[in-house]
């Protein structure tokens, strides 16, 4: 980076800068913990030299707490050591069983994740969004850009269940609704995924939603269908048809890579059983708003009664618990309402 011609090739230079940032994100926490340990060790040695009544023992309380927190953060980084964990994440949320209530739940989950993205300093780009017939969203696809975005969000893959008094029910009855969350890593250019153009069906259409006159008057939205697998990807976030197609191909590449990766894994059958249908009996987490308030991850038993904080994006406790538990994926019975 110190070379005079470093910025002559801008794209390559940006790749190097990104690589440096990635390395620093791994090394700096380790260096910080090492320094904290050495400082605390020196302080305790001085305290022991002064005797049991030394005030330095009390002074060591704060740095010892900081060291413990640093070690915990360093331990968490060890759980983000997967091949794709440092990549951006492609997140898809789809409303499941529950009609309008499920569409509203899909929208609530989307809000929860966008708040989490903001809290972690990541960025979010919506690739495709389908509004519900009456309220909420039928589905939404968005890209989360940031270091270890996929490593964090892969914990959210599965069916999420909401139990509440429905605001759409005049009789104020309790409703249960579902939405599925799928998370894929963005595939970098250094990973080859061969896609035969003859296997693709590409359709263009007018984008829906806000965006001004241009977006509604031109066929800028793109739908790409991979005929051998039946995978369909839609992007309409950009005004340019060319850019939307590029986004579609990036997501398709990730989906095909994930499909092949599943085939290579020995436990593919167990993973398919764990994912299950977007309906009762297959959820990974329950969000109960009535008659009591509780969010419980059914894979790890991690729970909290602060439902509003969770819906406002405070989901780190569930992510950390899932990573520390060894990423369990066993199927959960639908009888546990907690």
Q: What pLDDT digit, counting tens, does each position of 93-123 carry?
A: 999 977 889 999 999 999 999 999 999 999 9
What pLDDT, on a 0 to 100 scale, did the predictor assign at position 80? 86
What pLDDT, on a 0 to 100 scale, did the predictor assign at position 211? 47
What pLDDT, on a 0 to 100 scale, did the predictor assign at position 189? 64
Q: Where are the beta strands (DSSP E) in the chain?
A: 89-95, 123-131, 137-145, 158-165, 174-185, 200-205, 221-226, 231-235, 283-288, 294-297, 303-304
β-pair type (200-205, 89-95):
unpaired
Least confident of 6-15, 175-184, 210-219: 210-219
Q: Mean pLDDT, to the nearest integer, of 299-303? A: 95
How many other C-beta atoms can be found within 10 angstroms of the C-beta atom of residue 220? 24
What pLDDT, on a 0 to 100 scale, did the predictor assign at position 330? 40
Question: Residue 238: pLDDT band by 50, 70, 90 thresholds?
Answer: confident
Distances (CA, A) of 97 to 40, 101, 179: 55, 9, 8
Compute the distance between CA of residue 79 and CA of residue 336 in angstroms, rounded to an integer: 28
What pLDDT, on a 0 to 100 scale, did the predictor assign at position 25? 77
User: Does the structure show a pLDDT above 70 at 268?
Assistant: no
What pLDDT, on a 0 to 100 scale, did the predictor assign at position 138? 93
* 8 A C-beta contact, residue 167 and residue 93: no
User: Does the structure show a pLDDT above 70 at 332?
Assistant: no
Tokens, residue 196: 């035969």
Least confident of 128-132, 186-190, 248-252, 306-310: 186-190
Among residues 192, 263, 255, the alpha carbon closest in space to that of 226 is found at 255
Question: Residue 183: pLDDT band by 50, 70, 90 thresholds?
Answer: very high
What pLDDT, on a 0 to 100 scale, did the predictor assign at position 333? 37
Among residues 108, 111, 107, the alpha carbon closest in space to that of 124 is found at 111
Question: Residue 257: pLDDT band by 50, 70, 90 thresholds?
Answer: confident
Coil vs helix vs strand at 181: strand
Among residues 195, 220, 193, the alpha carbon closest in space to that of 209 is found at 220
Q: Mean pLDDT, to the nearest integer, of 168-189? A: 86
What pLDDT, on a 0 to 100 scale, did the predictor assign at position 335? 40
Q: State the DSSP code for 154.
A: G
Residue with tokens 């069906």: 201
What pLDDT, on a 0 to 100 scale, did the predictor assign at position 264? 66
Stretch (H or E) spanning 16: helix 10-50
Distances (CA, A) of 67 to 54, 113, 229, 301, 317: 21, 30, 50, 28, 20
C-alpha gyration radius of the chain: 24
What pLDDT, on a 0 to 100 scale, did the predictor assign at position 191? 67
Among residues 21, 25, 18, 155, the alpha carbon closest in space to that of 77 is found at 25
Among residues 99, 133, 152, 164, the alpha carbon closest in space to that of 308 is found at 164
Q: Mean pLDDT, to the nearest integer, of 142-153? A: 92
């Amino acid at each position: 980076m110190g070379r005079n011609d470093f910025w002559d090739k801008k794209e390559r230079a940006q790749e190097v800068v990104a690589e440096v940032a990635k390395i620093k994100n791994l090394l700096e926490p380790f260096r910080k913990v090492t320094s904290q340990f050495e400082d605390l060790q020196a302080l305790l040695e001085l305290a022991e030299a002064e005797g049991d009544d030394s005030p330095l023992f009390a002074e060591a309380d704060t740095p010892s707490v900081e060291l413990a927190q640093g070690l915990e953060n360093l331990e968490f980084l060890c759980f983000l050591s997967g091949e794709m964990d440092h990549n951006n994440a492609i997140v898809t949320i789809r409303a499941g069983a529950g009609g309008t209530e499920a569409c509203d739940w899909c929208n609530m989950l989307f809000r929860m994740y966008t708040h989490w993205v903001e809290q972690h300093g990541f960025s979010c780009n919506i690739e495709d969004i389908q509004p519900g017939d009456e309220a909420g969203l039928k589905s939404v696809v968005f890209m989360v850009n940031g270091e270890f975005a996929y490593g964090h969000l892969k914990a959210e893959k599965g069916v999420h269940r909401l139990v509440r008094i429905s605001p759409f029910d005049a009789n104020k009855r309790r409703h249960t609704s579902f939405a599925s969350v799928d998370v894929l890593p963005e595939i970098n250019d250094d990973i080859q995924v061969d896609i035969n153009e003859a296997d693709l069906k590409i359709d263009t259409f007018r984008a829906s939603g806000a965006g001004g006159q241009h977006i509604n008057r031109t066929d800028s939205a793109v739908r790409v269908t991979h005929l051998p697998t039946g995978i369909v990807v839609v992007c309409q976030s950009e005004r340019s048809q060319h850019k939307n197609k590029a986004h579609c191909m990036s997501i398709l590449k990730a989906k095909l890579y994930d499909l092949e990766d599943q085939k290579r894994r020995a436990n593919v059958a167990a993973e398919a059983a764990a994912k299950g249908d977007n309906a009762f009996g297959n959820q990974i987490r329950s969000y109960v708003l009535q008659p009591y308030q509780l969010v419980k991850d059914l894979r790890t038993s991690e729970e909290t009664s602060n439902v509003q904080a969770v819906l406002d994006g405070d989901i780190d406790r569930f992510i950390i618990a899932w990573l520390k538990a060894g990423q369990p994926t066993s199927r959960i019975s639908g009888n546990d309402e907690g």
